[in-house]
Structure 1
Amino acid sequence: MNIVILSRNANLYSTNRLLEEGEKRGHQVEIIDPLKCDIIIEQEKPTIFYKDRYLDYVDAIIPRIGASITFYGCAVVRQFEMMNVFTIVTSDAIQRSRDKLRSLQRLSKAGIGMPKTVFTNYSRDVEEVIDHVGGVPVIIKLLEGTQGLGVVLAETKNAAESVLEAFNGLEARVIVQEFIDEAKGADLRALIVDGQVVGAMKRQGKEGEFRSNLHRGGSANVIKLSEPELKLAIQSARALKLPVCGVDMLQSSRGPLILEVNSTPGLEGIEAATGKNIAKNIITYIERNRH
């Protein structure tokens, strides 16, 4: 099979592992920078031109589209879809998951537990927004933030008002969420492949840090998910139509709560914590589903 990994950086751990496992299983695998692809649109013959050739021989793609290139990256994925190329995640699903507000709305409709969340259009009544999520402390998140960037913990009303007013002044759209104190700066990441949990870890923020992202110095340990946690992870992936994704959850006194669903989850932390070959799971998923 000819498999293309859409990635801007061939040196990334996840990209390398997918290349390695694909080749190990006898496939032709190449890494292609989506930003260097030309999308050629003509009647009944959608094609993609890359460097010096047409990519008309590709059987399957693995999108590793960074948040900063979502628009063009998804256009390239969509073009492959028009060419009847199998993709582990669709362009629509990537865009849905990147829009934090849209994905939370879908998850809420699917009956999935989550921290109380408020979105407002640059509201001047900051106090009312804080009251809607049960008062301070609150988490304030930029709608476009990734890897813990653009996430602020406001512990007092004054701090929350200052942060919200600053974001409002910049015309940056934010959501305000209740702070789950009992999570103690930790979250759970479940990795889903083909609608099933193939690995899970607990990520703990470093001392004094409420964000548990490994990019922010957090640590990770393997964990066995409870039944409600497994159910929440699988339901969340299904609600966003993401057969391959990372689901982030918080442990709370009222059961597991969804934080977000990541359509391009990194493999390094989860493979190191669990000792599982998740890259191989992704390649075998393609083998089972590419007709």
Structure 2
Amino acid sequence: MRVGILGWDREEPESHSLVTVGLDRRHEVTLFTLDDIRCRTGPAGPVTYIDQVPAGDFDVVLSRAEIRADRVQADYERYALLCAVPGLRVMDPLDVYFAVENKTLTLQRLATAGLPIVPTITCRDVAEVRAAVTEWGTVVVKPSFSYGGTDVERVSDADAEQHVVERLLKTYQLVICQPYVPHPDGDFRITVVGDRAVLNFQRVPAPHDWRANTMQGASVREAEPPAELVELAVRATRTVGISVSGLDFVPGPDGWRILEINNTPGWYLSKPDDQRRTVEAIYELVESDHARR
């Protein structure tokens, strides 16, 4: 197969591991980014290119695209152009990939399917954040489109911390609020490929932070999640229709709840054997899908 890896960027370890394993499996593999997608007019009309190569020359594209907050419209257009190429399989297509980018929409879909989520509301102003604090006590305020723990803040006094809330609202116009769920021992990250949970670990907050996010200094340790979490992770992945997902679970007084789903889960902090096994599982899914088509 001729495989395109739509990478987060050209340096991301996960994107490079997809290239390495793809070559080992005797595929022709090209790493590119959203900035490499362009449209040119040819004799038969507009043609979408990946750098200098017609996108139609590829059999499949595996996406780990970064949808940038300051370039959403351009990134959306490039992704749409790629998905509109006849005969090209993009995993995952535009509607699925962009829907999972939106935390609010994804959690709403999961809740509608009867899956346990962390309660979530959208807030347009300081008054609505204050009401969330009144209802839940300490809350987590964050944008619906974000990654890596960026602009994720904990607020327990909406008046004293009004400047924090105002800054987020000025930047994003709309934020989401969730009750803060203490998890000093970390949360569970379960990575699902197709209908299999292939990688499980706990993310433990750094001593100076409360966020269980590796980009904020959290550490990773091996841990086997309860069987119920694995089942929930697979069900949630099927519900949103994504091929590869990373689900974060936090404990609560009434059991585990889904905090969010990631469409570009990371595995670079795992052991080399676990990294390899994860990427091999992705290619097994891709090859099986290609054989069926």
TM over 0.5: yes
Hey, what's the Cα distance between the residues in 2 that align with 1:139 and 1:184?
15
Hey, what's the Cα distance between the residues in 1 that align with 2:92 and 2:217?
29
Aligned partner of 1:53 in structure 2 is 53
What is the TM-score normalised by the length of structure 1? 0.89
Aligned partner of 1:180 in structure 2 is 181
Q: Which of 86, 89, 93 in structure 1 is aligned with 2:92?
A: 89
Hey, what's the Cα distance between the residues in 2 that align with 1:239 and 1:164?
32
Aligned partner of 2:155 in structure 1 is 154
CA pair 57-166 structure 1, distance change in 2 beyond 3 A: closer
Contact 1:193-1:282 at 8 Å conserved across structures: yes
Aligned partner of 2:139 in structure 1 is 138
Q: Does 1:280 align with 2:275?
A: no
SS in 1 for 2:225: coil
Contact 1:201-1:273 at 8 Å conserved across structures: no
Contact 1:2-1:29 at 8 Å conserved across structures: yes
- Correspondence list, 1:68-217, <5 A: 68=68, 71-82=73-84, 83-122=86-125, 124-132=127-135, 134-135=136-137, 137-170=138-171, 172-181=173-182, 183-184=183-184, 186-217=186-217
Contact 1:6-1:62 at 8 Å conserved across structures: yes
Contact 1:185-1:209 at 8 Å conserved across structures: no
User: What is the CA distance between 1:153 and its match in structure 2?
Assistant: 1.1
User: What is the CA distance between 1:12 and its match in structure 2?
Assistant: 1.9
Contact 2:8-2:15 at 8 Å conserved across structures: no
Q: Does 1:24 align with 2:24?
A: yes
The letter of the residue matching 2:81 is: Q
CA pair 71-283 structure 1, distance change in 2 beyond 3 A: farther
Contact 2:129-2:158 at 8 Å conserved across structures: no
What is the total number of aligned residue pairs between the two structures?
288
SS in 1 for 2:57: coil
Contact 1:140-1:175 at 8 Å conserved across structures: yes
The structure, 1 or 2, with the larger RCO (C-alpha pairs under 8 Å, 6+ apart) is 1
Contact 2:123-2:129 at 8 Å conserved across structures: no
What is the RMSD of the two structures over their aligned residues, measured on CA atoms? 2.5
Contact 1:37-1:76 at 8 Å conserved across structures: yes
Aligned partner of 1:242 in structure 2 is 242
What is the TM-score normalised by the length of structure 2? 0.88
CA pair 185-95 structure 1, distance change in 2 beyond 3 A: farther
What CA deviation, in whole Å up to 9, does each residue of 1:150-179 have, x standing for no partner?
100123353454433443455631111101
Identity over aligned pairs, percent: 20
Contact 1:271-1:277 at 8 Å conserved across structures: no
Contact 1:203-1:218 at 8 Å conserved across structures: yes
CA pair 169-286 structure 1, distance change in 2 beyond 3 A: closer
The letter of the residue matching 2:106 is: S
SS in 2 for 1:176: strand
CA pair 185-91 structure 1, distance change in 2 beyond 3 A: farther
The letter of the residue matching 1:58 is: F
User: What is the CA distance between 1:100 and its match in structure 2?
Assistant: 1.4
The letter of the residue matching 1:78 is: A
CA pair 169-149 structure 1, distance change in 2 beyond 3 A: closer
